[in-house]
Amino acid sequence: MSQAGNVVIAQGGGPTAVINASLFGLVKAATQGLKRSGKVWGARGGIVGVQKHSWIDLRMPSNTLWKQIMLSPGAALGSCRKMLNLEEAIEAVHILCKNDVRYFFHIGGNDSMDTALKMSDAASALNYEMACCGIPKTIDNDLSGTDHCPGFGSAARYIAQSTVDLGMDIRALPTPVSILEVMGRNAGWLTASTLIARRDPDDAPHLIYVPEVPLSRTNFLGDVQRVYEKYGWVVVTVSEGVKDENGASWGTDHRKKTDGFGHPLPGDVAAELAALVNAELGLRARSEKPGLLGRSSALMVSAADRLEAEGVAIFGASWAMKGNTSFMASIQRRRTRKYAVEYGAVPLMSVANVTRLLPAEYISSDRNDITEGYRTYVEPLIGGPLLRYARLESKERRTATTKTRKGI
């Protein structure tokens, strides 16, 4: 494929704290790779912007503005959750064809890779020469074909630091149980990252539940009671997508609703579990749900995450301009003593709509915690150590009586 023609970039799905670093990387690489007359456009509002021909010239902003944009959370172009069908993809490719667009880049997760694949298939069906490339993005870290996903490291840092801070708070007050709900509909990568908040055995979190393992009512209550009797306080982290042993979602009636991709919306899992603890164990329990704050915090961005978000996009643009299409750019961890990565490409067909679950090796045998092996995987991604705090230690540890206390 020649380097003639124009570029369109779209962002899809939920934003991350570093998604605009990928946008910047694409614009930089595309601008350098195209012939002087080539245009670099951004679609406003994701693939819907492509369909509506609502584009912005991305070569116009100054370098100063781009430096500010790449540090900003949220999708600078705007995003959407739309499941594109092949007929719509063909119509979108017709629009791109009329504007001599020869490179289409879609930044996003599983469903966005499906969109990129459909655009590639539509171009092939029309016999139109256009490179279609996916750039990975998701805090869920559940894309296959890549060691990890841009956005995940920063979200992992946020939720792990939040768990450290929450632990300090709950340790200090006689509110025995706190349940922290973490984003992650199908995969527990992000919830598992709260493990790195723990240094000592009694540090938060004491219990970690991920969607890969059914969470039964009986086992949950038994786990909470056991930890409470041992330490006198309990911090639980739980994925928003956990299900019970019958495959039913925990949470409220939100589970009956779906998003633009057709996925069920998770309910307030932590709130339901806290109510259960209150009712069945007689322990005061509170729920916390950072929600979108966990993926949008610019203050908690991992430097490594931002660097890789830009780097994988630069690779994707350069790979497309070498004549490759229908691929997702990927991040691969080198087998070196010091953490390092390299970039590669995997077929979109092997990525689209495929969920990479947390491997069983990272889930403890009692199924309510995460193994220490996961710490080795995730710590290099969060961009440095978490904030740790001093404590006044007493010779007598605060412990609970074995008798259940009500209304504390």
pLDDT (tens digit, 9 = 90+) per residue, 278-317? 999 999 999 999 989 988 999 999 999 999 999 999 999 9
**pTM attached to this predicted model:** 0.92
Stretch (H or E) spanning 7:
strand 6-11
Catalytic one of 140, 268, 305, 369: 140
Q: Decide if 140 is catalytic.
A: yes
Is the Cβ–Cβ distance between 159 and 131 less than 8 Å?
no
Tell me how far CA of residue 249 lies from CA of 105, 141, 174, 224, 392, in angstroms: 35, 21, 31, 20, 41
Q: Is the dihedral of CA 12, 195, 181, 72 positive or negative?
A: negative
| The pair of three-digit structure tokens given for residue 111, joined into one six-digit string | 């469903």
| The pair of three-digit structure tokens given for residue 405, joined into one six-digit string | 């206390």
199 exposure class (CB count in 10 Å sphere: 0-12, 13-18, 19+): exposed
pLDDT above 70 coverage of the chain, percent: 92
Q: Is it the case that residue 165 has pLDDT exceeding 80?
A: yes
**Residues 247-274 pLDDT 10s:** 998 876 544 566 555 556 667 999 999 9
List every span in the chain annotated with CATH 3.40.50.460.
153-297+357-381
CATH numeric code, 153-297+357-381 = 3.40.50.460
What does the alpha-carbon distance between residue 95 and residue 106 come to, in Å, rounded to a whole number? 16
List every span in the chain annotated with CATH 3.40.50.450.
6-150+299-350
Q: Is it the case that residue 246 has pLDDT exceeding 50?
A: yes
Q: Which CATH architecture has domain 6-150+299-350?
A: 3-Layer(aba) Sandwich (3.40)
Give the model's pLDDT for residue 260: 52
